Chains A and B, each alone.
Chain A
Amino acid sequence: MTDHAPAKPPFWNNPQVRAVTFQVIALIVTVAFGLYIFANTQVNLQRLGIASGFDFLSSPAGFDIIQSLVPYSATSSYGQVFWVALFNTLLVAALGVILATLLGFVIGVARLSKNWLIARLALIYVETFRNIPLLLQIFFWYFAVLRAMPAPRLSYSLGDVAFLNIRGLYLPAPQVEPGFGWVLAAFGIAAILATLLAGWARRRQAATGQQFPVVSAALALLLGLPLLTFWLAGSPLHWQIPELQGFNFRGGWVAIPEMASLLLALTIYTAAFIAEIVRAGIQAVSHGQTEASFSLGMSSGKTLRLIILPQALRVIIPPLTNQYLNLIKNSSLAAAIGYPDLVSSFAGTVLNQTGQAIECIAITMAVYLTISLLISLLMNLYNRRAALVER
């Protein structure tokens, strides 16, 4: 700064003055808008006689829910409805993420297959399913396929242990007997041993250069020890097979048609997107990497595991997480077919019964927002670790 500055620009052209002014204006407008909405809401709530607050959560709900993972009955409170609904959402989201990842990786690798027919089939799969709205797919599976299944008496059966009818998909359920705890304990011990083994093998390779078949040894431990215990404890597990009694099946594990169609549609739809992500990720690793690895004498399996996958995953994981987030958010379409998830049971039924629109919607949005932000946070942490460090 000099004392003899040339003609000073007028103050409204001063960038600092401008910056402060714009920000103050933006803040004032936002706050005023918020206050305006708040005042309107207060007036409207009073006019309509709606009490605000979260007291309604402890009053009895008085309706049944077709699927609940935690104990629930019509006399339970609205607060319990929230937990039932949340667990239903999380159940379908978790299963969807696992199945979509498996299917997506298979299709994505098939897209790059040297076999022309397989690559084309995978392309057709991707182009078909990602260009049809998810809601339409859910409707198709629910109304056109599962609602058109026969009555329980005429069920399709698979080897007389699994049955498919209009009430859902009935599968045998594992029944645990005393003594099964030993098997679990054996699995825990095997997991600890496998971790120790992996550490030992890594140290040995660092020190001597000798390799140890860690993966097969760990697998043998993880499978062998529990199986051996299972046999020694006298097979403490049996399968309860669903049986036709009267008009419906009893026993076994049942996937209600709402859940089955939602899961099918979510899996098929998201897998199409994951397949494209996987394909792009693998193609992003330049062919020179494969050639270099071969010239170092690595087998094609090792090339894939040690050279290509670690580099491809760096590209794959961020968009993959995005797809997981989309899947979780898309699971809210359950409301359209009446699967009792968060939006359908809580932002739907509870809202309609209590009229507490603001509270119900706010809680629902807060749950999704928390899940999203939590996953983004984990994602960013991973990204920082996996990002390419340029030197």
Chain B
Amino acid sequence: MADTHIPHPDLPPPVSIVGPIGWLRRHLLSSPLNIALTLLALCLLYIAIPPLLGWTVLNATWSGDSRDACQANSGACWVFIRVHFDQFMYGFYPDGQRWRVDLTALLLIFSAAPLFIRTVSSQTKLRIGLSILAIYPIIAFILLTGGWFGLAIVETSQWGGLLLTLVIAGVGMTAALPLGVLLALGRRSRLPAIQTLCVTFIEFWRGVPLITVLFMSSVMLPLFLPAGMSFDKLLRALIGVSLFQAAYMAEVVRGGLQAIPKGQFEAAAALGLGFWKMMGLIVLPQALKLVIPGIVNTFIALFKDTSLVLIIGLFDLLNMVHNATTNPAWLGFSTEGYVFAAAVYWLFCFGMSRYSQSLEKRLHTGHKR
């Protein structure tokens, strides 16, 4: 009887291929060029990180109430932000009424929270979403402007800061999406007159810069209206922003419509569905799902574009910050102000883009080509 063959136990893989060392060799040191690039990157980091860290954290001043507190340290003066924080959030909203803004924000957060919980069924989500769309704007409008239920009236000229930025972005998004869908359907329509109207509208708004649209809405809209009828400055900006973004949204939605195979339209027609039922039940649900990343990108662009309203004299977050940096008592802290504003905008935009990525992954049903 021959001895049974007992193989040697497997040797562990060489240290140079797996583990941290292997990772370093593969990703940072695989070739002379790669080594040079690593050195370059380290060099960049060495130049950038210590001064940045020193300015923002280590040498920064965090406590105090006046600019004198910042004299001792060479870094950022975050006191500037602390002192102006309420202004940056609420603008010129009267002090005693600011709870209304907080309440409006909390209401939205709590009512919209179920939409972000995965265990809630999509049916419930749809119902919640639609009721938020129908009811919330009315509540928010009453809370913010006042005039009912004994709430003091707050003119829109007193709105400002992040509040105004979010109002413009929110209204712009809710107006631009349905308008964009209608325009996209019109552009794909077989009726020549409707199609021409929609194409002209879309191409016009997409061809001009938003700033000229805002100029137009602030200097030309009053000329278009009958004498005696005048629009609030904020409302004029809202109209301009909504129409502008609707044109961009229309192009995004059109991309989705074009990606739906013809068979879907024909099948819907064969089942006897009319135009609106075909679009609402068969085509749009598929098309909109396809273009979620595009829609969110448009929302992000809209959010960033809200900063342009400072050109027509509205005090959004950026304008409030800019205003505070020109305050004679606080001259010389513009860097801190802009860095703070940039951080706020960045958080919102980055959050939206991450959410869209996760949504895209979740809705991915394997039909993507």
Contact = CB atoms under 8 A, between A and B. Distances in A.
Interface of A: 19, 22-24, 26-27, 30, 37, 40-41, 43-45, 47, 113-118, 121, 127-128, 130-137, 139-140, 143-144, 148, 329-330, 332-333, 335-336, 343, 347, 351, 357-358, 361, 364-365, 368-369, 372-373
B346 A357 contact: no
Interface of B: 27-28, 30, 34, 37-38, 40-42, 44-45, 190-194, 197, 203-204, 206-212, 215-216, 219-220, 222-227, 300, 304-305, 307-308, 310-311, 318, 322, 325, 334-335, 338, 341-342, 345-346, 349-350, 353
A139 B322 contact: yes
A30 B200 CA distance: 12
Contacts of B353: 131
Contacts of A114: 27, 30, 34
Candidate in B209, B308, B349 with the most chain A CB atoms within 10 angstroms = B209
B209 A330 contact: yes
Contact of B223 (A40, A135, A329): A40
A335 B211 contact: yes
Contacts of B192: 23
Given A30-B197, A41-B223, A343-B209, A116 B216 contact: no
B208 A43 contact: no
A113 B310 contact: no
A332 B308 CA distance: 11
Candidate in B27, B208, B227, B307 with the most chain A CB atoms within 10 angstroms = B208
Interface of B is mostly: helix
Contacts of B300: 131
B209 A133 contact: no
Given A115-B34, A135-B307, A139-B338, 7 more contacts: A19-B190, A23-B191, A23-B192, A23-B194, A118-B40, A139-B318, A365-B216
Nearest to B40: A118
B209 A332 contact: yes
B318 A369 contact: no
A373 B220 CA distance: 24
A135 B346 contact: no
A332 B37 contact: no
A27 B193 contact: yes
A132 B193 contact: no
B37 A368 contact: no
21 contacts: A44-B223, A44-B227, A115-B28, A116-B27, A116-B28, A117-B38, A117-B41, A118-B40, A127-B350, A132-B345, A133-B307, A135-B310, A135-B318, A139-B318, A329-B208, A333-B308, A343-B212, A343-B215, A365-B208, A369-B207, A369-B208
B327 to A, nearest CB: 13
A366 B225 CA distance: 23
A26 B318 contact: no
B209 to A, nearest CB: 4
Contacts of A347: 212, 215
Given A131-B353, A343-B212, A365-B212, A140 B342 contact: yes
Given A117-B38, A128-B346, A369-B207, A136 B226 contact: no
A132 B207 contact: no
Contacts of A329: 208-210
Contacts of B304: 131-134
Contact of A118 (B41, B212, B219): B41
Contact of A368 (B28, B193, B208, B346): B208
Nearest to A44: B223
B335 A144 contact: yes
